[in-house]
Amino acid sequence: MNTKIEMFGIHPDEQKYLEEHFSKLGNDFTAVYHSETINPENITGNKDTTVLSVFVDCVVNGAVMDAFPELSLIVARSTGYDNIDLKEAEKRGITVCNVPSYGEKTVAEFTFGLILSLSRKIYTAIDRIKENSNVSCEDLRGFDLADKTIGVIGTGKIGRHVIKIAKGFGMNVIAFDTTQNEKTSSELGFKYVSMDELLNSSDVVTIHVPYSINSKHLINASAISKMKKTAILVNTSRGGLVDTNALATALSEGKIAGAGLDVLEEEDAINCNKAFIVGGHAEGHDLCAIIADHALLKMPNVVITPHIAFNTKESLERILNTTIDNIRAWQDGSPTNIVK
């Protein structure tokens, strides 16, 4: 059986890595690599493709699946899979797999990169020197992390690594999770609290939960109103977990002190700004969120990065290795990492 694979959103170095590893597995695989993403507005590929491999910036809905009548497997090169229509896949008998674990340490480390950029105004200082050759330390006074309280929303693999790092900084840790693990709480030395108590008490609030219809806008205007005015919000999970308009309003009105964001609502529209304006379709997009994104980009108390918390050599190799394993296991009749 020759498995025909199409992989979208692949960088040249990723393609080279995959080609080398697929070649070691014999002639059972035929892979086509696309640097561009796939979505309802950009559908390309071969009708006899049986396996589709996508990253989080691709959208795979019914219209995309229609273009691949032989499709039997969708492999998400990510932990999250909210960009794939699972109900539609199930209806068509298409198996969906993901990469359940690849970047827990990677994302946790990056989370603290954002926290330190805000707490010590590192980005502002670097930008001032690079842009204006200004070495003044005026308005660059930060605050220590030691003895401050960090509220961790979500105590899965990434959240637990964030807690470990926070302990290394001497921070007090509180956490919220719908599923509490008291053994982990005891071992790592943190306390589970209600969401309201976390928001009320934290100097830093950081989000580490998956996105779903139920978690959309988990951090909204009501939640932000419960935070300290001196608090900072960090999001390295999914943009839709935060109501962008509410956040932009709160920051402009001084209701919280700052935000560190590796993800944004409508980040794809921001990434493809020119294409969206010229030929994009407004349907399916939140135009208010897009406007709020642009407002956030210009705020001095906001640090925004382009969805790179996962992006290390080691993390990407783990993603690609698991992707290969997922395809191989499916071909052998024993699929792994199936999304339920």
The residues that are catalytic are: 238, 267, 307
For residue 91, the tally of other CB atoms under 10 A from its CB is 11
Distance CA 335, CA 98 (A): 11
